[in-house]
Amino acid sequence: MANPAFPVIDVSPTKEFFISVITRDVTLADAINDLVDNCIDGARRLRPDGNYQGLTIEMELTDTQFTIMDNCGGIPYDVAYQYAFKFGRAAGAPSTDGSIGKFGVGMKRALFKMGSAFELQSTSENSKFKVNVDVEKWKRLTDIDGKDLWEFEFSELTTGASFPEDERGTILTVYPLHSAISEEFKLNTFANRLADSLQSSHEQSMENGLEISVNEIQLKHRLATLLVSDQVRPLKISLNYPLDPDHPDPAKDVTATIYAGISEPNLAASGWYVICNGRQVLRSDKSRVTGWDETTNEVRTPKAHYQFSRFRGYVFFESKDAESLPWNTSKSGVSSESRIYQSAKIEMIAAMRQVIDFLNKLDTESDSEDTLLQAAVEKSKPAKLFSIAPSISFVFPTGTPTSQPKSTRLSFIKPVDDVNFAKEFFEVSTAALAGGKAFEYFLAREKD
Amino acid sequence: MAGSYQRIDYRLRPAKSVERKMLADAFRKLSEFGRLDAYRYIGFGSLYFMDFVLFHKLLGFKSMVSIENEEDATKQRRFDYNLPYKHVKMEFGSSSTVLPRLPWDVRSIVWLDYDGRLNRSVLQDIAYVVSKAVSGSMLLISANASLPSSQTEDGQTASRKPLDQLEAQIGLEKIPAGLQDSDLAGWNVAKILRSVIDSEIADTLVTVNRTRSAGAKLVYRQLFNFHYQDGARMLTVGGILYDEGQEANLAKCGFNQLDFFRDGDMPYKIETPLLTYKEMRRIDTLIPLEAHDFANIPIPESEIQKYIDFYRYLPHFAETEGQ
């Protein structure tokens, strides 16, 4: 028991430590992506029907400042006052069903990561405000007893007004930038990398009409497809997982929809994609996280698994409660220890093995004179995932006679002197030809 | 392994035959969990369907699925031709691709009777069945319990150590900690493989049970751990999967009354005797044998003992059909 006569030990974090911890393990692109997530959650509040036509998110990266601007409904005053700036998610914070920003760390982490001061200006239906923070000053901000103050201040505030929809939105500016960030922003490669990351993360939102641009270049999106025909049909299964089976709560249930099939041969694009509430967190994964490694390494061959370059798997996790989803806080991967993810992974592996089995057969067929599977692949056309019908198996033509390969390769390694002797004997110029001749020599004598 | 039916006549394997009959004895006890004839049997029937015929005759299974890794339609016809009953349905393809195609809402007995070695694909099959099984289901795994010879034919590639070989088959993370090359010899390989299979089942159950509520958690109890050798050293390990709330049903089954019940590391060895029919008939007339009987028969005591252990299950081979 604590003795009230003794002094208490102050264990509150220093702000320096706090900032260092939250910014350390997030990449710059992931941090910016988090800001975009917040904009999209605004769009979700503004347009619950999911039609984002006319909504835009624009980013501008220069060597002096970063700006992100959207017209996605703005942040209401009470949300800003009570929750939006709070580190961590407060109990009782209002939630947007199916939202993607839920950890209560994304925005602050991105701001601290990028610069030493920022300004956030937002107009919503009934309010308008501005918050300016000089991070260096904020770090030193204390109360009269010298205790750290964990507060931001409004520099402008209007409430109880009414703003038309086209005026609603948020502008966030980080200025000045940390020098390392400024260096990154100078590079074209960074803007490209960011655009690439945003494109793959938000395909679904862009498909719904949202426009995203980086330095005035509008991002393109291409919704995932799988090849479909009468003979080739992707696997599609849906599963429902309670978050905590001992305390069922439908609002926290997670559904997983798994697709596995084939697409164009592209080794870089092949693998698993994991999407949580429309936000892609894993892209063309070929690691143990998705079971790819164990499944494709069944036979260890020096061959670079090119035969699997057509494989595509997609897992969509959806939940009203974003915190139930199996993603990490920087949304750059899955939380592989999640019970829900592990359960889904067993199904993913079973799904993947069906497609890998097909691809192995396709590979074997290419060494024979058959063209059945190849023809079936060529006849199939890309179909968007949502148009694909449920199927517990990956369907492809089976049960037809397969002819064995007519020829196979054999090679020898023999002492150079002996090989030269054989080359002279057979009067050929290369070791390979000598090998072939030697084999023919053997056949002519031993085979009836 | 595809095409093994072309090399092995499954009818001439006495230890396997004994094992099948013992398993039938055990399966009969499952009636505490549900009607036996409503169970589905999934196996690898080959061309002979020995297990299918036996289990149908003794237990009345009506829903039976035989998995055969044969994709060639001309060859598939031969399996269809040999189907013993219309109750048996062929599913062609590797077990890893067939298992996910089956419905899993029925109590099942799944015998993954591989004749090859344990590998990643086998472990994934095990995990899949465990994740899908309904309470009262049985899972059995048979596999070759030897490692490939460390000698290579041409002597050019470095010989592979047993531990490296096992790692190549199942992956480093599945190998019990502290295992040495010297542990992987003789029947000890089977012991190690049993523990690998046991861990795979346990790991999968942890995952499965995270999505099940208290009282509905799935439990695995090992019932069998056979070692036998008709040619290669073989291991059959397996047991029952049931909801923890059905512990009482399991107790009523009384699996532990079976001589061959093994719930741990200790194997039950099936070693069939080599005896003439005359010798067998002689021993039969003396059953139950008393100590002094052994000296009165001119047969090694060890062979007599094997006969007494297995005579209820031994197959009798005879030449028939014209020879």
Q: Are the Cβ atoms of B213 and A245 closer than 8 angstroms?
A: yes
Q: CB-based contact (8 Å) between B116 and chain A?
A: no
Kindly state the average pLDDT of the residues B301-310.
92
Q: pLDDT digit string (tens) for B145-196?
A: 998 865 555 544 555 788 988 988 898 889 998 999 899 999 999 999 999 9
The per-residue pLDDT for A228 is 96
Summary count for chain B: helices (H), strands (E): 11, 8
Mean pLDDT, residues A249-256 taken together: 89
Q: And the tokens for A353?
A: 């093995």
Q: How far apart are CA B104 and CA B137, in angstroms?
A: 10
Strand A254-262 relative to strand B108-117, pairing: unpaired
CATH architecture designation of domain A15-218: 2-Layer Sandwich (3.30)
A341 DSSP assignment = H
pLDDT at residue A404 is higher than 80? no
Q: Can you say whether the dihedral through the CA atoms of A365, A369, A370, A373 is positive or negative?
A: positive
Section A165-181 average pLDDT: 93
List residues in chain A touching B: CB distance below 8 A.
Answer: 241-242, 245-246, 248, 294-295, 297-298, 300, 339-340, 342-343, 346-347, 349-351, 353-354, 357, 361, 392-393, 398-402, 413
Res A303: pLDDT: 45
pLDDT for res A54: 94
> In chain B, which among 76-115 make CB contacts under 8 A with chain A?
76, 92-94, 96-97, 99-101
Extents of the domains making up chain A: 15-218, 225-387, 416-441
Is CATH 3.30.230 the right assignment for the domain spanning A225-387? yes
Would the pLDDT of B282 be above 80?
A: yes
Distance CA A348, CA A258 (A): 7
**B214 or A174: which leads in pLDDT:** A174
pLDDT at A256: 95
Closest alpha carbon to A76 in A140, A170, A190, A184: A170
Query: With an 8 Å Cβ cutoff, are A343 and B210 in contact?
Result: yes
What CA dihedral angle connects B67, B69, B73 and B74, to 10 degrees? -100
For residue A40, count other CB atoms closer than 10 A to its CB.
Answer: 30
This prediction's pTM: 0.80
Please report, rounded to a whole number, the percentage of residues in chain A having pLDDT higher than 70.
Answer: 94
Residue B73 contacts A, CB cutoff 8 Å? yes
| Angle value at C-alpha B224, between B220 and B227, nearest 5 degrees | 140
In the prediction, which pLDDT does A102 show? 62
Nearest to B207 among A342, A350, A351 (CB): A342
Q: In this predicted structure, what is the pLDDT of residue B151? A: 52
* Residue A17 DSSP SS3: helix
pLDDT for residue A405: 61
CB contacts, 8 Å: A349 with chain B:
124, 127-128
Query: Quick one: pLDDT at residue A251?
Result: 84
Give the Cα separation of A309 and A270 in Å (integer): 5
pLDDT-derived band at B10 (thresholds 50, 70, 90) equals low
Could you give the 3-state DSSP secondary structure of residue B240? Answer: strand
Q: What pLDDT was estimated at residue A300? A: 44
**Pairwise CB contact (< 8 Å): A353 & B96:** yes
Q: What angle do CA A116, A117, A118 make, to 5 degrees?
A: 135
DSSP symbol at A80: I
The helix (run of H) or strand (run of E) holding residue B122 is helix B120-132
Report whether pLDDT(B130) > 90.
Answer: yes
All residues at 6 or more sequence positions from A402 whose CB lies less than 8 Å from its CB, including other chains: A361, A364, A365, A368, A370, B71, B72
Q: What is the pLDDT of residue A304?
A: 46
The nearest alpha carbon in chain B to A357 belongs to B97
Cα distances (angstroms) measured from residue A229 to each of A287, A381, A388, A401: 29, 6, 11, 21
The distance of B173 to chain A (nearest Cα, Å) reads 11
**pLDDT for B1 beyond 60:** no
Among candidates A343, A361, A393 on the partner chain, residue whose Cβ is nearest the Cβ of B211: A343
* Cα angle B135-B136-B137, degrees, rounded to a multiple of 5: 95
**Residue A75 pLDDT > 70:** yes
Alpha-carbon distance B299 to nearest alpha carbon in chain A (angstroms): 49
Task: State the average pLDDT for chain A.
Answer: 88
Nearest residue of chain A to residue B70 (CA atoms):
A399
Residues A397 and A376: beta-carbon distance below 8 Å: yes
Which chain A residues are closer than 8 Å to B73 by Cβ? 399-401
Most confident of A432-436, B1-5, B17-21: B17-21
Per-residue pLDDT tens over the stretch B62-73: 999 999 998 888
Q: Is the pLDDT of residue A327 over 80?
A: yes
B196 SS3 class? helix
- Contact state of B100 with A350 under an 8 Å Cβ cutoff: yes
